[in-house]
Amino acid sequence: MRHHAILCFTVRVTETRGQASGDVPAHPGEPHHESLGSKLNWLRAGVLGANDGIVSVAGLVVGVAGATTDRTTILMSGIAGLVAGALSMAGGEYVSVSTQRDTERAMLKLEKQELKTMPEAEERELAGIYEKKGLSAELAARVARELTESDALQAHAEAELRIDPDDLTSPWQAAWASFVSFSIGALLPLLAIALPPTSWRVWMCAAAVVAGLALTGFVSARLGDAGRLRAVARNVGVGAVTMLVTYYVGALFGVTLG
C-alpha cells in the first residue's frame, strides 16, 4: 500500500509541475507510451507486413501481366512471391526483434550487477532521474528509496532504461504477425489479377491495391498518431508507382494486355 501511494503521489506531483513549467503535458487518460509501444509491437509488425505484401506481390504480378496473358504463369509467379516474401518478412522480423530482446537482457543484466555492487550510487542516480522530472530533491530521494526497497531492478529498468523486465519484446510474436499479415496482404493483388477476365486484370488489381494501401496507411497513421491523409497518400502513391513501373518493365519483354 505504501509503495502504491508513493507512486500515485509522484505521478500527481510530476504532472502538476510539468503543467506549470510547460515541459510535461498532462493528459488524463493518455496511455503510457512505452507500455503502449510494447503492447502494439505485434500490430505494428502486422501492418507493415500487410503493406509490404500488397506492394511486393502487386508489383510482381502486374509486371508479369505486362509480359504475358497466361493466367497460370501470373498465378504461379504471385504464389512464389507470396511464399518467399512471407518467409523473408518473418525471418527478418524475428532476427531484428531477437537482437532487440538480447540487448534488453544485456542492459538488465548490467543494471542488476550495478545494483548489487553499488546500491547507494544507483539509488542516487534514480533520485536524480526524478529530480529532472520536476520533483524536489527531498521527494525524489524518498521516491527512489521507496522504489528501491520494493523492487530495485524494476524501478531502475523502467525509469532509467525504459524497459519492463516482465514484458520484453517477443520475436516469435512479431515474426508470426509479419508472416500472416504479409500473406493476407499479398492475397489481395494476387486474387484481384488472377480472377477477372484478361482485359480487366490490371485495372482490378490496381483498384484492390489502392483500397488495401489506403487501409494500411490509415491504420499505421492511427497507431503512430500521425497525419492520416498524408500517410494514405504516401502509401497509395508508392503502390501506384510500383505497379506502373513494373508493368511497363514487363511489357518490354512480352506482350501487353489487349
Residues 8-19 pLDDT 10s: 444 443 443 344
Residues 176-224 pLDDT 10s: 888 998 999 999 989 988 888 888 888 888 888 888 888 888 887 777 6
27 domain-assigned: no
Domain count, the chain: 1
104 domain-assigned: yes
Of 207, 201, 208, 209, which Cα lies nearest the Cα of 257?
201
Question: Given a cut of 60, is residue 149 above it in pLDDT?
Answer: yes
Of 229, 183, 236, which Cα lies nearest the Cα of 207?
236
Residues whose CB falls within 8 Å of the CB of residue 56, separated by 6 or more in sequence, listed in order: 81, 85, 186
CA 44 to CA 224: how far, in whole Å?
9
State residue 253's pLDDT score. Answer: 65
The DSSP string of 159-209 is III---TTS---HHHHHHHHHHHHHHHHHHHHHHHHSS-GGGHHHHHHHHH
State residue 196's pLDDT score. Answer: 83
pTM metric for this prediction: 0.66
**Both ends of the chain: CA-CA distance in Å?**
76
76 domain-assigned: yes
Question: Could you tell me which residue, 254 or 157, shows the higher pLDDT?
Answer: 157
256 domain-assigned: no
Mean pLDDT of the chain, nearest integer: 75
Residues 34-46 pLDDT 10s: 445 555 566 676 7
26 domain-assigned: no
164 domain-assigned: yes
Domain extent at residue 163? 2-21+34-251
28 domain-assigned: no
Of 124, 156, 151, which Cα lies nearest the Cα of 140?
124
Which range, of 102-111, 204-213, 228-237, 243-252, averages the lowest pLDDT? 243-252
Question: Given a cut of 50, is residue 3 above it in pLDDT?
Answer: no
59 domain-assigned: yes
CA 234 to CA 257: how far, in whole Å?
28
